[in-house]
Structure 1
Amino acid sequence: MRAFSKLKHHIFNAFREIFIYNHNSLLFRAKLFALLVGVDNEEHDNDYYINLRSTAIKIYNDEDRADLLVLTTKEIVRKIRKSNEFNIDKLIESVVQELKEIPRYAKKIDKESLSSLLEVADDEETKIYQNRIIEFLDNLKAETYAKHNLTD
């Protein structure tokens, strides 16, 4: 049964634009988490994804959607690590651009949810980098809220 569930999630992930309600919203949130996972080395990935799944279940209250967030995040992290053209800086540019185009996505920047991944890294430099990314995103959220008169 678990194999069928995995297959279903991979199919949905491949065709998320067609099958998944608010796929762009999920993709944006996955980018946020990928920023934190992508700056650490691959040996911790499994721990990040276990942690992310429990955080995603709290966010969505839906295991299928949580699994799709984890799969989408994995896809983005894999792209960051394997591509010469797509890296953390490009991902940050993408997040900033999406917030300019769709300011309501700023509500998806949740410092508490993002911070749940900080306990995974064991390297102090990685933790500092991740904290700075979260601070940057939190400031970006505040700027977007102020510029567009958004409220929680």
Structure 2
Amino acid sequence: MSGKIKLRFLSAFRDFFIYHHKSLEFRAKIFAAIISAKFDPDEDDFFILNDIVNEIYENDQTRKDFLIQTVREYVARVKRSDRITLDTLLLSIDKDMKDHKRYAKKIDFSHLRRLMSGCEEEILVQQRVYEFLINEVKLYSQSA
């Protein structure tokens, strides 16, 4: 199966084929929130994301590909306002963390800082998303 076809197949049936797909999906939401805060995310953002994902999943190409594909899907949906906005994405992150407090440990703020770039306004929005995530981690780490 070619790489893209396999990835689309796995994406459609991730519940069945990807081990711990919910935690991987949570990670995708985190990265997508930071990238979506930019007015016009570009391929440079995804090159940086690729480097980060290689650090997280050194020996698991399927999880790497799936995470990057899922981030791309979330960013695309936010940018075209396809039933999801940055606010609804952040609310979804909040719900996930409330339901699964262990997810707070999945957020590596050094990774998120590497994705923060752009004009002053974009960085301001990214900073607000970053601060939201810091507060979420504080809130749900204490109640874990």
State whether structure 2 residue 131 is matched by structure 1 residue 129.
no
- Asked if the contact 2:38/2:125 (under 8 Å) is kept, the reply is no
Q: What is the deviation of 1:100?
A: 0.9
Note closer, same or farther for the CA distance 1:84–1:55 as it changes in structure 2 (3 Å cut): closer
Unaligned runs of 5+ in 1: none
- Alignment match, 1:48: 45
User: Within 1, Cα distance between the matches of 2:42 and 2:34?
Assistant: 11
For residues 70-85 of structure 1, the aligned pairs below 5 Å read 70-83=68-81, 85=83
State whether structure 2 residue 110 is matched by structure 1 residue 139.
no
Residue type of the alignment partner of 1:136: F
Greater shift in the superposed pair: 49-58 or 126-135: 126-135
Q: What is the deviation of 1:84?
A: 5.3
Which secondary structure state, in structure 1, belongs to the residue aligned with residue 10 of structure 2? helix
1:60 equivalent among 54, 57, 61: 57
Note closer, same or farther for the CA distance 1:7–1:84 as it changes in structure 2 (3 Å cut): closer
Q: What is the deviation of 1:63?
A: 2.7
TM-score, normalising length: structure 2: 0.91
State whether structure 2 residue 7 is matched by structure 1 residue 9.
yes
User: Within 2, Cα distance between the matches of 1:33 and 1:9?
Assistant: 19
Of structures 1 and 2, the one with the larger relative CO (CA 8 A, separation 6+) is 2
- Asked if the contact 1:51/1:117 (under 8 Å) is kept, the reply is yes
Unaligned runs of 5+ in 2: none
TM-score, normalising length: structure 1: 0.87
Q: RMSD of the alignment, in Å?
A: 1.5
User: Within 2, Cα distance between the matches of 1:75 and 1:22?
Assistant: 19
Q: What is the deviation of 1:65?
A: 1.2
